[in-house]
Structure 1
Amino acid sequence: MSQSAPALGPVRLDADAGAKLSALRRTKFIATASLALCILIFALAKSFEGRFPWLGFVAAFAEAATIGGLADWYAVVALFKRPLGLPIPHTAIIPANQTRIADNLGRFIEVNFLAPEPVREKLAEVDFSALVADWLADPNRAAGLSHFVSRLVPQTLAAVEQSGLRGFVTSRMLEQVEKIPLAPLFADLLSTLTDDRRHQKLFDEFIKVIGRFLNDEQALATMREKIREELPSLFNLFRADAYLLKKIVASAGSLLDEVRADPDHPMRAEFDRFAETFIDRLRTSKQYARRAEKLKHDFLERPELKALAGDMWASLSLFIEQDAKAPNSMIRAHLTEMFVEVGRHLADDAQIRADMNQGFVVALASFVDSQKSGVSKFIADQVKRWDLAQLTRLIEMNIGRDLQYIRFNGMIIGGIAGVVIYVAERLFLAS
């Protein structure tokens, strides 16, 4: 027996340990009394066998029953202790083999109870997703979970900041953006605008800008000055610059009114062709692609972009931290609603529940499989550390009553065998 670990305190017994112990003692008493009765009957039968020959059968039964009862008493007692305290070999079997019993018990549980197939079958009987759905659908539980999550978010953000994960993620994101071809992306984006002629709204805004420009006194003064510089001095004497400016503004204003009022105006069609041509060049022109990539690269290299990202992260962290401390946190409210909604959707979607249950089974079965050797060793170590007297008492209390019936069976079978032998002997001597 291993002595490497100190013995634990008394083994914790079942709630009905008292009833088991009383039943064991009662059965022991009856078995011992039966053995004493067999001895008494044997003695009496032998004493009066001369006067009553039929008592020979009783004596034969009682004698063999006594021998069988004594042999089985010895066998049962030898399991737990040394009979009569004598140092007889191969007795006190359970105490002498505590270490082996502990190791075999651990291996038995590992092989038979923690094998992959039985564990998977047992786990498959549990509807984990239904438990999760019911738990999340409860508003009070969802609120508690959202409160827990909201308290963790600021700490998580701080940990991300201190670990350098934010910089790593930002650099990885920029690398991925760098790999995206910009020209085709813009072409697809502009195509969604031109499919239903929404780009014409942009053209309308452009017309409004030109209209405001033509009504701006300062802009008109600048245009008149440019016209005066281009005209010969003689024309300026007759105020030709003012006349030309007036005609230009009037013609341009009239043209803008026509374009604004006519959805099929030729200028709109020309703008359509311009947009289609530009989109096609974005998709096919290598020169446009190079320019777009250069613009993208220059934009991503701008220090202002990194500073903006840092400011956005700081603002987000500050907002989350303040909101998490607020009594009426918006984050907690939205999280609670989200958890409740997830629980309801999960309860209604059988396919998702089936997938979740399968995932739980795989994950938990893998965990059990990876830890079962540790469970086996833990059980073995605990059994090895049990006090020998308590261990013996625990085993005897749970199976000892059944073992006492072996003594009854030994006396009965032994007595029957004794009678059979006695009859055979009488028949042999008579012949």
Structure 2
Amino acid sequence: MSSADTHHTVRRWALALLLFNLLLWLLMLFLQKQHPEWLALGYIKAFAEAACIGALADWFAVVALFRHPLGIPLPHTAILPAKQAQLAQGVAKFIGTHFLDPAVISEQLVRLKMGERLNAYAQQHLTNAVIAKRLPKVLQAMMRRVPVDAPERLIGWSQEAMTRYLSGDRLGRSTARLMDIARAQGLDEKLVNAMAQSLHEFVTAEDVKERVRPWLTELATAAQKAEVVDASWWGKMKNQLTGQAIEWADDWIIDKALAWVADFTEKVQTDDKHPVHVWVAKHADGWRDKLYNDATWHDWLAYHVHDWLRTPTAEELVKTIWDKSRTWLDNATTNDSPFIEPLADKIRDVVLNYINDPIQQSRLTEKTAQLAAVGLTEYQDDIREWLTAQMNAWSKERLNSALENAIGNDLQYIRINGTLIGGLIGLVLFTVGQWI
């Protein structure tokens, strides 16, 4: 049975006892008229009469605490609603002083060993499914606080941070190490072979002559216009030729040049010891040494990289990285993301391993107690004001209902006790009167 049901039951008992004594009193009045010689009727009548008076007096006292009896606005009735502000302030002060005392709460938390309790709860209830169910909402809430577009100060901070970090010697050493990695993977040879292959495909294409001829024609025209003393040997020779002879000469030269380039590029691809590979390897070693040790190269790298960092292109790169990262994170935080379960598993392992350590449990207990004490010390006045404001905001009906539900049974028992005690007092007084 709920407290409200119990309260109504006790109140009905108090009312029933009052009505019983009232009927008993009326019955005694009737019987006394019929049988005045029955002396016991006077004692019973005195008990019932005094019981009714005691019950009604206590009913008035109880009702006057909460409302006006019978709706009549008598002075000093409806006391609690009238004193709601003082009551709210007193209750808030009492709770804040005695129940929310920082020292008491801190001591109680230490006694409860909150670290061990948290560990026991976590080991039993903190499963991968629990974390995976709530993790997307937490991550999505965090992502909603992240701006969609890259903030300007982030762009400026990135530029400043990269400028400070990328010193000349660091750029040089990093580039040299990249070259070492690339050469260890044979990327230098692959790069030369790729360039040779591209050139080979160009010179062996069917339309290569038509693509090369305008370029040679432009050279020939320029040579014809130049003075003989300044012209090259090929230009001087072409100055002596005209018409079909120039086209035959061009075709012959083009065929020879293309055949030589095709043969050259084919040898470069098939011979790892070709002079081109040797030359590239030799100069790569020299470039690597300079990147590691040459201050001039370091200064050159720093100047150009720092200058590039201040360009709109660098800003766009930061914005692109931001957009791609944010899009990836948005996709990674959805409920069906493949990253949620592995992340939940990792979080669970970290939390359980951390909290299972007895030393960490003691620290958690102490930290919880300290935080509670600090928080209560700092916000105790705010808590009192909040409690006071909450109770003042209650309607009179809600306040009466809350108080009656809390102490209503005791108040109804006061009515019952008043009925019985009043009746006994009336009986005693009547008996004394009869003796005197």
Q: What TM-score, normalized by structure 1, do the two folds share?
A: 0.52
Corresponding residue number in structure 1 for 2:272: 263
Q: Residues 49 and 55 of structure 1 are in contact (CA less than 8 Å); yes or no, is this contact kept in structure 2?
A: no
In structure 2, the CA distance between the partners of 1:264 and 1:137, relative to structure 1 (3 Å rule), is same
- Following superposition of structure 1 onto structure 2, how do residues 2-151 of structure 1 map, counting pairs within 5 Å? 26-27=12-13, 29-36=15-22, 69=55, 72-73=58-59, 75-81=61-67, 92-105=78-91, 133-134=132-133
Matched, 1:171 2:177: no
Q: How many Å separate the matches in 1 of 2:429 and 2:342?
A: 75
Identity %: 23
Cα deviation 1:172-195 (Å, max 9, x = unaligned): 322223221322222222222112
Q: Which runs of 5+ in 2 are unaligned?
A: 205-211, 221-230, 236-254, 355-367
Q: 1:34 to 1:201 in 2, by over 3 A?
A: same
* Comparing 92-101 and 263-272, the one that deviates more: 263-272
Indicate if the aligned counterparts of 2:28 and 2:42 stay in contact, CA closer than 8 A.
no
Change (3 A) 1:210 1:30: closer
State the secondary structure of the residue aligned to 1:342.
Answer: coil
> Is the contact made by 1:38 and 1:62 (CA closer than 8 Å) also made in structure 2?
yes
Q: Tell me how far apart the structure 1 counterparts of residues 260 and 404 of structure 2 sit (CA, whole Å).
A: 115
Aligned residue number for residue 336 of structure 2 = 341
Partner of 1:201: 190
Which residue matches 2:294?
Answer: 285
Deviations 1:344-384 (A, max 9, x none): 724882443688999xxx9xx99x98999778656644643
Deviation of 1:99 (Å)? 0.8
- With 181-190 and 35-44 compared, the bigger mean Cα shift is at 35-44
Q: Give the SS at the match of 2:336.
A: helix
What CA deviation, in whole Å up to 9, does each residue of 1:91-115 have, x standing for no partner?
Answer: 64313321122334556787869x9
Are residues 1:185 and 2:182 paired? no
Is 1:408 the equivalent of 2:409? Answer: no
Per-residue CA shift, 1:267-300, capped at 9, x if unaligned? 6455434323322321222221111112223434
Q: How many residues matched?
A: 349
- Indicate the SS of the match to 1:340: coil
CA change 1:40–1:396 in 2 (3 A) is farther
Distance 2:343 2:429 in 1: 77
In structure 2, relative to structure 1, the CA distance for the partners of 1:254 and 1:65 (3 Å cut) is same
Change (3 A) 1:68 1:294: same
Q: Which residue of structure 2 lines up, in the alignment, with residue 295 of structure 1?
A: 304
SS at structure 2 position matched to 1:100: helix
Contact 2:25–2:48 (CA under 8 A) maintained in structure 1: yes
Stretches of structure 1 that go unaligned for 5 or more consecutive residues are 1-15, 139-144, 230-245, 321-330
CA separation of 1:401 and 1:127: change in aligned 2, threshold 3 A: same
Q: TM-score, normalised by structure 2?
A: 0.51
Equivalent residues of 2:51, 2:423 under 8 A apart: yes
With over 3 angstroms needed to count, the CA separation of the structure-2 counterparts of 1:41 and 1:66, relative to structure 1, is: farther
Aligned-partner residue type, residue 277 of structure 1: G
Change beyond 3 A, Cα 1:21–1:409: closer
Change beyond 3 A, Cα 1:287–1:101:
same
Partner Cα distance (2:27, 2:345) in 1: 74
Counterpart of 1:263 in 2: which secondary structure? Answer: coil
Query: In structure 1, how many angstroms separate the alpha carbons of the residues matched to 2:180 and 2:25?
Result: 110
3-state SS, counterpart of residue 306 of structure 2: helix
